[in-house]
Structure 1
Amino acid sequence: MTKMNRETVITEALDLLDEVGLDGVSTRRLAKRLGVEQPSLYWYFRTKRDLLTAMAQAAMAPHVAEPLPEPGEDWHIWFLENTRSFRRTLLARRDGARLHAGSRPTADLDRIRRKMDFLVASGVPERPAQMAMLAAGRFTVGCVLEEQAETGAGDTAELPPGVPEIDHESAFEAGLALITGGLARHVDARRASTPRSARPGSSHQVR
C-alpha cells in the first residue's frame, strides 16, 4: 500500500488524470490505485470537488514557479511570456484546461496582485490591465480546451474547400497579439495624456 498523505493523494490523482482523462477520475478508482478503501480519502478531501480543486492548484505548479516580473521589464514581452507559460502548463496535463476551468486561484492571489502592480507601474491603466489579464486567461483556457478536445477525438473532419487550416499555436499567437495590441493602445493613450516628467522612466511600447 502506498504511504498516504495529502500530497501523495494529489500526485496519484494527477497521474490517474493523465491515464484516463477527467471523466475517468473517480474516488473509487483513486482509492484502488492507492491500495486503500474509498472512505480513507475523506480524511484528506471531503468531496470530489475538493479533490479536483486541489488537483487544479497542483497542476499549475510549473506556471506558479515562473519568476515574477521585475521593475523595468518590458510589460509587453512579459505579458506574452506569462500567457504562453499558462498555456504550456495547461497542455502539460491531459484535460488540463477542463480541470482548470472554473477553479478559483485562491492560492495565487498574491502573485496576481504583484503582476497587476507591475503592469500599472509600467504605465498600463489599471482597469484595462485587469480586463486584459482576465481576457488572456479565459482565451488561453478556451484555446487549450479546443486543442485537447481535438486531440482526444482522434481524426478530425476535413475542412470545407476554401477554408484555411490554422494550427493551434498560430491561432493562439494571433489572438494573443490582438489582446496585447489592444492593451498597447490604452498605454499609448495614457502616455499621450501624461506630462513627460510624470511618465515611467523606461519605455514600454510594443515592439
Structure 2
Amino acid sequence: MRINRSQVLAAALDLLDEAGLDQLSMRRLAVALGVQNGATYWHFRSKQALLEAMADELIAGVAEVEDLPWDERVTALASRLRLALLSRRDGARVFSSAFFPLPNALAYGDALIGALLAAGLSPRAAAWSADTVTYHVVAHTLEEQLAGEDPSRLQSAVDPVRHPHLHTALAHVPAPHPEEHFRHGLRLVVAGIRAEVGDPAQEH
C-alpha cells in the first residue's frame, strides 16, 4: 500500500485525538495506516519532524484575518490560534514541542508582527510583544486541555490560615469559564501593548 505525506499527516492527527501525544509513536502510526514499520520515514525523517508538520497543520488558516485596527487584529489572531490548538487533543503541547519555521507558522508570525508594527511599535518591541501574545495563548490552552484534572486536589490543599489570599480567590483559580478567563488575560496583554505604544521611551 502506497501512502503520501498528506495521508501520514492526517492519520497522525487522528491518532493524536485517539491516543494523545504521549502514546503517539511512529510504530503506532504505521499500524494505523496499515503499512510496514518504517514506511512513514519516507515522508518524515523522525518523530520530531512529524510533530513539527502536525503543529503547522494545526494552525493552517489562522493568519487569515481581516484588515482590522491593530488591536482587533491581535485579538483575532490570538483567538484563532487558541481555537486551532483546542481543535485537537494535546494541540497546545504539540504546538509548543518544537520550533518550526514552516509555512503556516511563518504566516501567523508575519501577520501578528505586522499588526503590532501597525500599532507603532519598533521591530524589536513588535517581535517581543508577538511572543508575549503567543505565550498567553499557548499557556492558557495547555491549562484548558489539562482541565480534566481533579480540582478538589487544589481545594483540599489550600489552608485558609496559611494561604488566606489564595483561599479568598480559590473559586476562580481553577478557572470555571475558559473563554472568559482567556479573554481577560488577552485584554491585559493588549492593554500593555497599548501602553507601550504610548510610551515615548519605547525603543525604535
Distance 2:110 2:61 in 1: 19
In the TM superposition, residue 114 of structure 1 has moved relative to its aligned partner by: 4.7
C-alpha distance in 2 between matches for 1:186 and 1:5: 48
Give CA-to-partner distance per residue, 1:108-156, whole Å, 9 cap, x none.
33552354234323323333222221011111111111111123x3x43
SS of residue in 2 equivalent to 1:49: helix
1:26 matches 2:33: no
Distance verdict in 2 for CA 1:128–1:48, change over 3 Å: same
Q: Within the alignment, does 1:43 sit opposite 2:50 as a pair?
A: no
Match of residue 121 from structure 1: 118
TM-score (norm 2): 0.80
Higher mean displacement: 163-172 or 43-52: 163-172
Retained in 1: the 8 A contact 2:112–2:130? no
Asked if the contact 1:125/1:187 (under 8 Å) is kept, the reply is: no
- Quickly say closer, same or farther: Cα 1:78–1:118, change in 2 above 3 A: closer
Which residue among 91, 98, 121 is the counterpart of 2:86?
91
Deviation >6 Å, runs of 4+: none
Say which of 164, 183, 188 aligns to 1:173: 183
Asked whether the equivalents of residues 128 and 183 of structure 1 are also in contact (C-alpha less than 8 Å), the reply is no
SS at match of 2:99: coil
106, 109, 114: which one aligns with 2:106:
109
Cα separation, 2, equivalents of 1:184 and 1:58: 31
2:193 to 172, 175, 183: 183
Number of paired residues?
Answer: 183
Percent sequence identity over matched residues? 34
- 3-state SS, counterpart of residue 171 of structure 2: coil
Q: Indicate if the aligned counterparts of 2:9 and 2:50 stay in contact, CA closer than 8 A.
A: yes
RMSD: 2.0
Q: Distance in 2 between matches of 1:117 and 1:174?
A: 23
